[in-house]
Amino acid sequence: MKFYSVKMRASLNDRHVSGGERITTEESIQKVVSELLTRPKEFDFVNIKIEKINNIKFIEKSLDIKTINVKNHKEGNEIALKLLEEVGIDREIAKAYIDLLHTGANPDRENMRGAMIITRSGKRVEKDRYRGVRTTNVDFLHREEVKKILLEKKYTERTLDALALSTKNLNHLDIIAEYCISDQPDYTTGYVAVNNTYYRINPLKEYSNPKGGRIYFVKDDTDIEELYKYLQEESFLIKE
């Protein structure tokens, strides 16, 4: 079977307003393009890129999801730090970078476009502190079925996309953990992905905070070039 990557990004007045990506079969390209085009509420520019994937790989199963409801984002972050400590990430190191993410992690103290990469010993190693690294080219083989199951459990489409992304991340042996909060001011549920589990922590950030992003915690001897190639170029479908 042939698979295609379909990517959409829309902007208004030169500001990014919406984006999305799918991996789909040849027969479903039109349907997927139409669906993606319903995402931006308003735009003056939209770019749709469709590319054939020559070497698709499969991941058998997505991370398990566990939801942790807490009183407030401070309690949520305490739990996040404990989960990270359990896989050997130093509490002070994790806290310093998490605080940075909540207050703007690029050199202008705005959001980065992609993720920070932090080694276990605390070095910040992404190649560009504005761009960060972006995990792309991942989707569920049966996206609509997985989406239905997640929505029935009162999760959101954001969970679906984030679960795919973090499943690809943790499939790489050098990524020990991921921490994520949305950059949407009203979306306060975040997650920590560790030990094959996507811990959905609600809330993980303060309501109305426009800052957000992702941190990938990696082994000290990670080959950064190879990691970028894996995250940005290799294509994966998650079977279930």
Q: Is position 179 an interface residue for ligand PML (rule: CB under 6 A)?
A: no
Does 164 sit near ligand PML (CB under 6 A)?
Answer: no
Q: State in angstroms the smallest separation of the CB of 163 from ligand PML.
A: 7
Tokens of 186: 């009203």
Give the binding range for ligand PML (CB under 6 A) out of 88-96, 126-134, 184-192, 220-228. Answer: 184-192
Closer to ligand PML at the Cβ: 92 or 152?
152
Residue of 182, 188, 222, 235 interacting with ligand PML (CB under 6 A)? 182
- Shortest reach from residue 201's CB to ligand PML, in Å: 9
Considering only residues 195 through 234, tell me which ones interact with ligand PML, judged by CB under 6 A: 200
Site string for ligand PML, 29-48 (x = CB under 6 A): --------------------
Written in H, E and C, the secondary structure of the chain is: CCEEEEEEEEEECCEEEEEEEEEEEHHHHHHHHHHHHCCCCCCCEEEEEEEEECCEEEECCCCEEEEEECCCHHHHHHHHHHHHHHCCCCHHHHHHHHHHHHHCCCCCCCCCCCEEEEECCCCECCCCCCCCECCCCEEECCHHHHHHHHHHCCCCHHHHHHHHHHHHHHHCCCEEEEEEECCCCCCCCEEEEECCEEEEEECCCCCCCCCCEEEEEECCCCCHHHHHHHHHHCEEEECC
Q: Does 180 participate in binding ligand PML (rule CB under 6 A)?
A: yes
In the list 137, 159, 171, 222, the residue contacting ligand PML (rule: CB under 6 A) is 159
**Is position 189 an interface residue for ligand PML (rule: CB under 6 A)?**
yes
The answer to whether residues 25 and 4 touch, using CB atoms and an 8 Å cutoff, is: yes
Span near ligand PML by CB under 6 A; candidates 34-42, 55-63, 133-141, 151-159: 151-159
The answer to whether 153 contacts ligand PML (rule: CB under 6 A) is no
Residues in touch with ligand PML (CB under 6 A)? 156, 158-159, 162, 180, 182, 189-191, 200
